[in-house]
Amino acid sequence: MSNHIENAPLDHVLVPVASEKDAAATCAALKPYLGEIERVTAVHVIEKGGGAPDKAPLGKRQEDAVEFLGVVESRLGDEVPVDTRTAYGTDVVATLFDEAATVGATAIAFRPRGGSRIVQILTGDTANRLVTDAEIPVVSLPDPDEG
């Protein structure tokens, strides 16, 4: 087990999910720690372009969010209370911290997503910003398929 998760206050964990595959992988990574968690709030952030055209029609992105969040509810809901939320913002990290404050989360638990270092730099490296701009404890979940 990671020392990161053992030392974090896990009463109410906010879990960001980006896609259906990410939701499933995040649930698998979180499962070993459910005994320490009293509540999970899963959040999908629909990123707004801030004046730029959106990546897809809003209705489609909202339907996708329901699907992604449903994965978390179906995989964890029998073991821990799960709330789901769709949030909107131009800055994903700031939106996640706003959501955490709104729901009273005691920590954010996320699974870092892959990609080369150059891709992370070009996209703003959300994982890095989550950890370095942390307003509450942030737990990086280990990949359950590794070691």
Q: Cβ distance 27 to 144 under 8 Å?
A: no
Q: Which is the CATH superfamily of the domain at 3-140? A: HUPs (3.40.50.620)
pLDDT band at 53 (very low <50, low <70, confident <90, very high): low
The token pair at 138 is 């942030």
Pick from 95-99, 124-128, 137-141 the range whose average pLDDT is largest: 95-99
pLDDT of 132 strictly over 50 = yes
DSSP class of residue 142 equals P
d(CA 38, CA 58) in angstroms, rounded, equals 33
Predicted TM-score (pTM) of this structure:
0.80
